[in-house]
């Protein structure tokens, strides 16, 4: 019995010693309280998507990089001393001016020399029996000479034009009466200039005009006389 009590006492002594050592060596640190997340302020964590899976509608703040714009490259213009105005060929630069001057000179020569092609001054219908053909130099008299034809026949081989009217009478034939005035020269200043008038037997002007002719050129007027038998006014 004594042995049993001794062992029991020894057991309890060891237990008390172990508990005392355990209380001296360990320090318990209380855990801090962690606030539970508020359901209203909770943030859902969405797993990151792959770049190929991200769509513009996934977020309102998505920044889309602009596409690269292909800029057309214009071909480089080759340098040319002819096309460049600053290095143009002198012959090219003055070609236009030279052509213009030649054109003006030619026009001036034509004006000085008169018309170089035959001139048609019109056709007049008349019932006159005869007409008086008169003419004069309508500019300064400088020695202009003309030749006059009626229906191809020479009626005045050479006439000197003066400042006053001169002329001749002709009897009109039924049908066409063609009168040609041919310039024989251009006087001292050229061209051959004249004014003519055609008067009927009553002194009324049937026709009239002017010409400026080069040497050898003709001015023509036609007087047409209807056949009285076919003219209603004569019946």
pTM value is: 0.53
The three state secondary structure string of the chain is: CHHHHHHHHHHHHHHHHHHHHHHHHCCCCCCCCCCCCCCCCCCCCCCCCCHHHCCHHHCCCCCCCCCCCCCCCCCCCCCCCCCCHHHCCHHHHCHHHHHHHHHHHHHHHHHHHCECCCEEEEEEECCCCEEEEEEECCCCCCCCEEEEEECCEEEEEEEECCCCCEEEEEECCCEEEEEEEEECCCCCCCCEEEEEEEEECCCCEEEEEEEEECCCCEEEEEEEECCCCCCHHHC
Domains in the chain, please, with CATH?
Answer: 116-227 (2.60.40)
| pLDDT for res 155 | 96
Could you read off the pLDDT tens digit of each residue along the chain, which spans 235 residues?
666 666 766 766 666 555 555 555 545 555 555 555 555 555 455 555 554 555 555 545 555 555 555 555 555 555 554 445 555 556 665 566 767 666 665 555 555 678 999 999 999 999 999 999 999 998 888 999 999 999 999 999 999 999 999 999 999 999 999 999 999 999 888 799 999 999 999 999 999 999 999 999 999 999 999 998 875 555 4
| pLDDT for res 148 | 97
| pLDDT for res 235 | 47
């Amino acid at each position: 019995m004594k042995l049993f009590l001794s062992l029991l006492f020894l057991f309890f002594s060891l237990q008390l010693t172990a508990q005392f050592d355990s209380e001296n060596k360990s320090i318990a640190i209380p855990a801090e309280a962690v606030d539970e997340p508020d359901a209203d302020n909770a943030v859902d964590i969405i797993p990151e998507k792959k770049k190929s899976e991200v769509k513009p509608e996934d977020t309102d703040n998505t920044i889309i990089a602009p596409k690269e714009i292909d800029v057309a490259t214009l071909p480089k213009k080759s340098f040319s001393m002819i096309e460049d105005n600053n290095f143009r060929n002198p012959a090219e630069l003055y070609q236009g001016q030279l052509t213009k001057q030649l054109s003006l000179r030619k026009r001036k020569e034509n004006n000085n020399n008169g018309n170089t092609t035959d001139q048609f001054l019109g056709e007049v219908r008349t019932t006159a029996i005869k007409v008086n053909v008169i003419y004069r130099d309508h500019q300064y008299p400088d020695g202009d000479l003309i030749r006059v034809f009626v229906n191809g026949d020479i009626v005045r081989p050479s006439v000197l034009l003066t400042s006053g009217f001169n002329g001749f009478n002709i009897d009109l034939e039924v049908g066409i009466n063609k009168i040609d005035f041919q310039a024989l020269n251009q006087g001292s200043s050229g061209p051959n200039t004249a004014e003519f008038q055609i008067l009927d037997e009553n002194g009324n002007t049937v026709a009239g005009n002017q010409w400026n002719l080069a040497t050898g050129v003709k001015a023509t007027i036609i007087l047409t006389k209807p056949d009285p038998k076919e003219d209603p006014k004569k019946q």
